Amino acid sequence: MPAVDVARIRNIAVIGHRGTGKTSLTESFLFKAGVINRQGTIEQGTTVADFEDDEKKRQHSISAAICNLNWNEHLLNLIDTPGDPSFHADSIAAMRVVEGAVVVVGAPSGVEVQHERLWSHCEQNSVGRVIFVNMMDRERADFAAAVEQLQESFGQGAVVAQLPIGAEEDFTGVVDLLTMKAYSYQDGKAAETEIPAEMADLVEEHREKLLDAIAENDDELMEKYLEGEELSREEIMTALRAGVAGGTVFPIAAGCATRGMGTDLLLDLLVEAIPSPADREAVVAIDADSGEEIQLEADAGAPLAVFVFKTLADPFSGRINALRVFSGELKSDSNVYNPASKTKERVGQLLRLQGKDNQPVDALGPGDIGAVAKLKATNTGDSLCSEGKKITFPPLALPNPVMSFAVEPKSKGDEEKIGSSLKRLQEEDPTLQVERDQQTNELIISGLSQAHVEVIVNRMKDRFGVEVELKPPRVPYKETIRKSAKAQGKYKKQTGGRGQYGDCWLEVAPLERGAGFEFIDKIVGGVIPKGFIPAVEKGVIEAMKEGELSGSPIVDVSVTVYDGSHHPVDSSEMAFKIAASMGLKKAIADADPVILEPIMSVQVTIPEENVGDVIGDMNSRRGKVLGMEPKGKTTQVNAEVPLAEMLSYAPDLRSMTGGRGDYTMEFLRYEEVPAHLAQKIIEQNKAEKEAE
């Protein structure tokens, strides 16, 4: 199967808040295009995109799924992304490899928190957007209110391109304002019909607004339009695509994905409005040898440049890398080079993914999306190129994990299996962090939320047969100091033979929050020989791993070694390392040490009637409410809250709102713990040490 013509490719991410029907829409697309013979549902566990066991259990997407279809002689590569912020990394990665996105909005709920975050990622990556107001058949479906919210949130460039006929149980069809044709639906099948007479004025009003927005992208077209001349369909579509590509026009469509209503018209719109890879501006990449920026064109004859945006850890097939070709042509049974791992890779059979299934292809041309199995040293975010022209891409800006758990095997002897399974899952999910705590010897896994970590544990069990227990999450406290102090660290030991002697004077000083650690050598006159200074620094760094107050790492501290002494025979690296550790502990104790706690930025979306309860609850959690924003029939409360107070927030919010509330949370900064709470943490740490 030869490479597809770049002008006939449309790469599209399906994005939106959790529960808006993204997977149902993807499923409807595949059904309309004849890829599948029936449209499954997530409730039945029969969708192409949500094929993982944990996705079926939770009934929402956890990982991005890649599908493809042919429509009107065009190849559409679809990436169905998770709407839950706990699995946001896949959505961010998808934005890097598509030219367009379908922003799925629920007609009853309108614009929600995650829509705004994903919209900003689209803007950062110059991704064109088409909006689909889904669930027009649901109770409280309000298309006009949804459009008003979209325009309030994203500007007047959000213009109606398709109008629903009716709403809720009376939703029967769609009017396409680009073709000025109406369609009614029976069992998901469209039949052309007359535009309802009662909608004539509304249709004319929105048609005029649509043409106004489109014509603004072409001066000649605008002049022709203002003079009252008839615009051809080709002229309208060319200008529409320019507006979508330029981020000035966001056409709004309407329908019901689960019943297949309007999704065929949406496919037509995507083919017409989303730019092909050939239409987009040159992509910025980096020459791996010189470090200079280079511009990549979607040209088969250009140097090969491939970006790996997702890794799937399949227990049977091994590792599968999903990738996008930005320039050149990638062929099956070829050799490539990975600048990140500095290794040559053998590309075996190239694949085109269809959820968990795949089909072999001979080549992937510029602009195309596919996959390859069993690369040895290639991970998400890496690039593949020819060894003669080494090209790489800017790194993915993924969110940092904020929730950590200690994991223990349920069965003895599974420690090694835990390590290997977590390594495989890390390849698939770059936001998962795994580390061994040197102080406690606990294996710590960190994710974006408790739900994120629970999914990892389930996958360890389902895929690799490893069962673990999670200890209650520990808040990742840190310690720092508020003033400068000096102290001597002296280690002297005589054991009959050669002794041990190390002596150093240290000065500690606070740094700005987030600055980390700084070590300064101010030794003069050789009072401590140069060869022992690295040992002093090493002793300081090791001592900073565990503060005396809470047992947490010490941060944002400058440490200067400015004096000391040595013994020509008894001094050693070990002695100076121990002396530095002793000196640091003394100095920190005199420098007004304090405990720091992580503060989270929290956005809670709730029904208006629950605002008072939620704000009162936030205040009880030591939260600082920054403001409220109306979001149609809901309100978004913005707050900053200590992580320690948010560990049990999800069930509490469900209880307060009858399950209708939702929240997102991400790390913001560290702040000092109030004195009365710090004392409790200190006492708890002391009790734990005594119990050891």
pLDDT confidence of 430, banded at 50, 70, 90? confident
pLDDT of residue 419: 87
Residue 685 to residues 227, 255, 403, 549, 681: CA-CA distances in angstroms?
78, 57, 20, 7, 6
Phi-psi label, residue 161: left if phi above 0, alpha if psi -120 to 50, beta otherwise: alpha
pLDDT of residue 628: 92
pLDDT of residue 50: 46
Tokens of 191: 């039949």
pLDDT of residue 428: 84
Q: Is the model more confident about 14 or about 630?
A: 14
pLDDT of residue 13: 97
Query: What strands lie across the sheet with 391-392, from one edge to the other?
Result: 293-296, 283-287, 391-392
Lowest mean pLDDT among 116-125, 314-323, 486-495, 634-643: 314-323
Separation between Cα atoms, residue 191 and residue 197, nearest integer Å? 17
Per DSSP (E only), the strands in 89-212 are 100-106, 128-134, 158-160, 162-165, 173-176, 181-186, 189-193
pLDDT of residue 323: 97
* Segment 126-141 mean pLDDT: 96
Asked whether the predicted pLDDT for residue 467 surpasses 50, the reply is yes
Separation between Cα atoms, residue 161 and residue 176, nearest integer Å? 6
- Is 522:561 a contact under the CB 8 Å cutoff? yes
pLDDT of residue 259: 94
Asked whether the predicted pLDDT for residue 678 surpasses 80, the reply is yes
Tokens of 275: 């730019």
Per DSSP (E only), the strands in 340-415 are 343-347, 350-354, 357-361, 363-364, 369-373, 383-385, 391-392, 403-409
Walk me through the domains of the chain, giving residue ranges and CATH numbers: 6-273 (3.40.50.300), 294-392 (2.40.30.10), 403-474 (3.30.70.870), 479-591 (3.30.230.10), 595-676 (3.30.70.240)
N residues, the chain: 692
- Is 51:80 a contact under the CB 8 Å cutoff? no
pLDDT tens digits, one per residue of 433-446 = 898 876 466 788 88
Lowest mean pLDDT among 43-47, 143-147, 356-360: 43-47
Long-range contacts of 190-199 (CB under 8 A, 24+ apart): 190/264, 190/265, 196/165, 199/163, 199/165, 199/175
Asked whether the predicted pLDDT for residue 46 surpasses 70, the reply is no
- Is 303:328 a contact under the CB 8 Å cutoff? yes
Separation between Cα atoms, residue 335 and residue 346, nearest integer Å? 5
Average pLDDT of every residue of the chain: 89
Separation between Cα atoms, residue 228 and residue 225, nearest integer Å? 5
* Segment 606-621 mean pLDDT: 92
Asked whether the predicted pLDDT for residue 55 surpasses 70, the reply is no
Asked whether the predicted pLDDT for residue 474 surpasses 90, the reply is no
pLDDT of residue 101: 97
pLDDT of residue 344: 95
* Segment 262-266 mean pLDDT: 97
Termini Cα distance of the chain: 65
pLDDT confidence of 61, banded at 50, 70, 90? low
Asked whether the predicted pLDDT for residue 2 surpasses 50, the reply is yes
Separation between Cα atoms, residue 507 and residue 587, nearest integer Å? 7
Separation between Cα atoms, residue 176 and residue 193, nearest integer Å? 11
Handedness of CA 674, 675, 680, 685 (dihedral sign): positive
pLDDT tens digits, one per residue of 308-363 = 999 987 666 678 999 999 999 999 999 999 999 999 999 999 999 998 788 999 99
Using a cut of 0.75, tell me whether the model's pTM lies above it: no
Residue 295 to residues 274, 285, 322, 336: CA-CA distances in angstroms?
22, 6, 23, 20
Asked whether the predicted pLDDT for residue 54 surpasses 70, the reply is no
Separation between Cα atoms, residue 303 and residue 202, nearest integer Å? 51
* Segment 605-630 mean pLDDT: 92
Which amino acid, 5?
Answer: D
* Segment 639-657 mean pLDDT: 85
pLDDT confidence of 130, banded at 50, 70, 90? very high
